[in-house]
Chains A and B, each alone.
Chain A
Amino acid sequence: DSGVTQTPKHLITATGQRVTLRCSPRSGDLSVYWYQQSLDQGLQFLIQYYNGEERAKGNILERFSAQQFPDLHSELNLSSLELGDSALYFCASNPDGRRDTEAFFGQGTRLTVV
């Protein structure tokens, strides 16, 4: 158990809909990362938050947004969903976001868009 909790584990929704994925980082970790894992794109970094503020952006679509709350949990919002958004979405956390510290991953949310 990594200590990172993601909910829900599975989500099935229709095209055009909006969903929210939730992540609770390990206790004390200030930095949260979101990644998307799909068969054609592999593991892609989406966005990072550090202590409530956006720190870095990766290949995140404009239809997607995220935030980190004062209690440090984070939510990833996906809107106007398309079939191609079907993927496994991972959240990861680490204490300080530094280069040499590893990230701890949750078990992921599997999103299926039908």
Chain B
Amino acid sequence: GNSVTQMEGPVTLSEEAFLTINCTYTATGYPSLFWYVQYPGEGLQLLLKATKADDKGSNKGFEATYRKETTSFHLEKGSVQVSDSAVYFCALKDTGRRALTFGSGTRLQVQP
């Protein structure tokens, strides 16, 4: 079956530090890959997506590249801000099953 594995949190960084949150997946076929962010007390918001191998998704300074050879979709940001503190979820959707399969989430805490 499908699965998504994310690095354990929490990840604690100082403002302006470089961020990487690792995500690897197992899926049949050619899934689409997504990063969602959940701010405290809110629902999930799409951060970025990539629908085929070597695609790079980007938004608000965050980037992730769909790497089929390593089955990975790592999230990166060059300089984090306090306002980026949230829980980040990696997810996939494959051709057969159209609901999202989520990773366990990684909590990011950015300190001033």
Residues from 37 to 58 in A contacting B, C-beta threshold 8 Å = 42-43, 45, 48, 55-56, 58
Decide if A106 is an interface residue (CB 8 Å cutoff): yes
| Known contacts A99-B95, A100-B32; A108/B102 CB under 8 A | no
Decide if A66 is an interface residue (CB 8 Å cutoff): no
Minimal beta-carbon separation of B9 from chain A (angstroms): 13
Bound CA–CA A99/B34 (angstroms):
11
Decide if B77 is an interface residue (CB 8 Å cutoff): no
Give the total number of A-B pairs whose CB atoms are below 8 A apart: 56
CB contacts (< 8 Å) of B34 on chain A: these are 102
Which chain B residue lies CB-closest to A44? B102
Bound CA–CA A75/B34 (angstroms):
26
CB contacts (< 8 Å) of A92 on chain B: these are 44, 100
Complex partner residue of B102 from A43, A56, A100, CB under 8 angstroms:
A43
| Known contacts A100-B51, A102-B34; A43/B89 CB under 8 A | yes
Decide if A67 is an interface residue (CB 8 Å cutoff): no
Complex partner residue of A56 from B31, B44, B97, CB under 8 angstroms:
B97
Contact between A99 and B32, CB atoms less than 8 A apart:
yes
Contact between A107 and B42, CB atoms less than 8 A apart:
yes
Minimal beta-carbon separation of B34 from chain A (angstroms): 6
Minimal beta-carbon separation of A96 from chain B (angstroms): 9
Contact between B105 and A42, CB atoms less than 8 A apart:
yes
Minimal beta-carbon separation of B25 from chain A (angstroms): 14
Top 3 closest pairs, chain A to chain B, by CB: A43-B102, A105-B43, A45-B99
Residues of chain B touching chain A, judged by Cβ–Cβ distance below 8 Å, are: 31-32, 34, 36, 42-46, 49, 51, 89, 93-95, 97-105
Residues of chain A touching chain B, judged by Cβ–Cβ distance below 8 Å, are: 2, 4, 31, 33, 35, 42-43, 45, 48, 55-56, 58, 90, 92, 97-100, 102-108
